[in-house]
């Protein structure tokens, strides 16, 4: 089911809540510039294993409200805290992709991991984001020809072949966002520095990262794993930045194994 949660006066986030009776809860935090819909291929499978899947759209993206201001990691982490508190969530897993991983890390630092028992960081933009020169080019494209920027992004995003129809679906997800929020988050990524946040993470952490990732290089995941003593790194051998789709069967299996919901093969 879908509903809205007001995170501050006049700003509501859209929440996709699948299998509310599930005994294990994962909160899915999408990447830039997408929405909760990017996790369709997890939502298709994980509820069968007793997982409650909660996907939220950040402010400015998907079906959520799109204020002109409020696009920094503290505000995005605070939005997540309101959702967790209002839904009364406890012992949840935060699964964050790319920028969503950075939001999850800031949440753990800023809110002392309230209600969270584990992290799954997927191609995470942690502890740094996008080089400023790359970000500036993307911002310029966003403010002048956003559809074409999203087509270029799609070509860079995936290692495996994606059909024309799938590529169009992916572009359409990005077009649900506003132009100003799309540009603001890219500027945020160009300035990202979450090194100081990592010491706050003491919960078990699963790192999934495509070895062919052209957006956040695999070497960054290797460095991240060394900084998180409670983490496990699983390389996705046939993925770029989109392992949640490119290796969806293995991706889902690894998450379920890590949660202890299926036996390891």
Catalytic positions: 98, 213, 241
- Compute the half-sphere exposure of residue 68: CA atoms within 13 Å on the CB side of its CA: 0
List of E strands, 46-145: 51-56, 92-97, 116-122
Backbone angles phi, psi at 211, to 5 degrees: -75, -15
Tell me how far apart the alpha carbons of residues 12 and 65 are, in angstroms, rounded to a whole number: 6
| All residues at 6 or more sequence positions from 5 whose CB lies less than 8 Å from its CB, including other chains | 12, 13, 15, 56, 82, 83, 86, 87
Tell me how far apart the alpha carbons of residues 63 and 57 are, in angstroms, rounded to a whole number: 7
**Token pair recorded at residue 200:** 């706050």
Burial (Cβ within 10 Å: 0-12, 13-18, ≥19) of residue 217: middle
Beta bridge pairs of residue 4: 14
Closest to 157 (Cα-Cα) out of 240, 260, 66, 99: 240
Closest to 10 (Cα-Cα) out of 56, 84, 70, 67: 67
**Token pair recorded at residue 203:** 């919960």
């Amino acid at each position: 089911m879908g509903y809205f949660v007001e995170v501050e006066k006049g700003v509501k986030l859209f929440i996709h809540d699948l299998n509310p009776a599930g005994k294990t809860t994962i909160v899915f935090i999408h990447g830039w510039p997408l929405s909760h819909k990017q996790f369709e291929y997890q939502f298709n499978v994980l509820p069968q294993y007793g997982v409650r899947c909660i996907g939220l759209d950040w402010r400015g993206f998907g079906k959520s409200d799109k204020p002109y201001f409020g696009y920094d990691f503290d505000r995005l982490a605070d939005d997540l805290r309101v959702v967790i508190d209002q839904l009364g969530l406890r012992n949840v897993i935060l699964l964050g992709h790319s920028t969503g991983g950075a939001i999850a890390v800031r949440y753990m630092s800023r809110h002392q991991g309230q209600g969270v028992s584990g992290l799954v960081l997927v191609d995470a933009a942690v502890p740094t984001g996008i080089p400023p020169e790359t970000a500036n080019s993307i911002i310029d494209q966003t403010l002048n020809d956003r559809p074409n920027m999203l087509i270029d992004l799609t070509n860079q995003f995936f290692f495996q072949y994606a059909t024309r129809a799938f590529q169009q679906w992916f572009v359409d997800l990005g077009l649900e966002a506003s132009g100003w929020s799309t540009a603001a988050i890219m500027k945020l990524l160009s300035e990202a520095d979450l090194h100081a946040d990592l010491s706050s993470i003491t919960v078990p952490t699963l790192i999934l990262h495509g070895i062919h990732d052209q957006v956040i290089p695999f070497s960054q995941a290797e460095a991240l794993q060394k900084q998180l003593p409670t983490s496990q790194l699983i390389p996705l051998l046939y993925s770029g930045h989109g392992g949640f789709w490119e290796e969806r069967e293995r991706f889902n299996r690894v998450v379920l194994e890590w949660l202890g919901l299926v036996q390891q093969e």
